[in-house]
Amino acid sequence: MLLVCAGLIVRSLQAAQKMRPGFDTQAALAISFDVGLQGYEEAKGRAFHHQILERVRAVPGVRAAALTSNLPLALNYNSSSVYLEGQPAVGSGRLPTCIPMSVSPGFFETMGIALRGRDFAESEDKLEARVAVVNETFAKKFFPGIDPIGKRFNFSGPKDPLWQIIGVCSDGKYNTLAETPQPAVFRPQFRDYDTVVTLVARTQGDPRSIIAPLRKEFQAMDPTLPLYDIKTLTEHMKIPLFPARMAANVLGSFGVLALVLAAIGIYGVMSYVVAGRTREIGLRMALGAQLRHVRQLILGQGMILAGIGLAVGLVIVFILARFLTTMLYGVSPADPITFIAITFLLAAVALVACYVPARRAARVDPMVALREE
């Protein structure tokens, strides 16, 4: 059972490496910084955000760059309530929720996220600019069967000015890789000022080769500003994959140990069986039984027992594997490749464990065996 669970998680990790979590992880990197640590006032902080973005976009090798308040899959679990224009007023606790994010113009292009409608404009940096981009799940859940572009909603209720939807982007993974599709709302980063932001940049080649030039741009503007979480988006994916990797390592280690113990157990049982049937084996050989017939006899008996145990174990694992659903990405708990591979592995180990006693039984001297009491 442990080997099947470990195999499912390993298969899931392989699928997750190939799976696109709603954004393109290739040739992109992220750099986080907080101008509030240097005591920037809002006006100075806003100016810094605009200027650093312009300077980064001008760096040779940078194809696109943007700012965001929250990088997807960064373990930031935020949610906001959603009130749709025209619906009856209800308490905030009864309103549905969505995942909020603030992004600058160019974010969807930088992250490789498909966008229908329009992106944010640089001029939408005032509180009056209540425009938003929603994802496909938001559109399907709150505006089923109609085009949501141009529709309005709010985060609290009907009292405040409503937000207008200007675009719809493709779905992504925002909190965990195993999450079901969640409604998400993207607001203008330059409107929702925050001192803590993450810069994402898409490059033409290896994203790590552009880290040094980007550092120079930051140092040119403020040499005392600390930068942190400097990593490619591929490296960023190690965070959500870490629990699955640990589970695969632990389960795999225990699974290998269980496999070794099972092989020793099968060998011990079959050796005991052979020892108890020495006279019978000697008699068969004295009457003309071939060596291969003796081997087949012992192997057949051992493999029948191993097959019964394997079948029962696989049925139990098939039932219990559903509890791994939250740890699997793009792989079913009943993944046939994993079950077939583990079945062949266990069968091969059982065959080897049975073959050694069978080979020893075939070497029994009939005369010696018949004289044993």
Query: What pLDDT digit, counting tens, does each position of 160-216 carry?
Result: 789 999 999 999 989 887 788 999 999 999 998 999 999 999 999 899 999 999 999
CA pair distance 197, 194, nearest whole angstrom: 7
Enter the pTM of the model: 0.72
Helices (H) and strands (E) in the chain, counts: 11, 12
Q: Which numeric CATH code is attached to 23-68+196-231?
A: 3.30.70.1320
Is 235 buried (19+), middle (13-18) or exposed (0-12) by CB count in 10 A?
Answer: middle
198 vs 70: CA distance, rounded Å: 7
Domain boundaries, the chain: 23-68+196-231, 70-193, 240-371
Phi, psi of 83 (to 5 degrees): -115, 125
pLDDT band at 363 (very low <50, low <70, confident <90, very high): low
The pLDDT, as a whole number, for residue 254 is: 74
Pairing of strands 97-103, 184-188: parallel
Residue with more model confidence, 254 or 221: 221
Residue 187, pLDDT score:
96
Residue with tokens 């994402």: 200
Contact between 149 and 167 under an 8 Å Cβ cutoff? The reply is yes
Calpha distance 96→84 (Å, rounded): 10
Phi-psi region of 245 (alpha: psi -120 to 50; beta: other; left: phi over 0): alpha
- Going by pLDDT thresholds of 50, 70 and 90, the confidence category of residue 352 is confident
SS3 160: coil
pLDDT reading at 79 higher than 80: yes
How much is the pLDDT for 293? 72
> Burial code of 338-358, b = ≥16 C-beta within 10 A, e = fewer?
bbeebbeebeebbeebbbebb
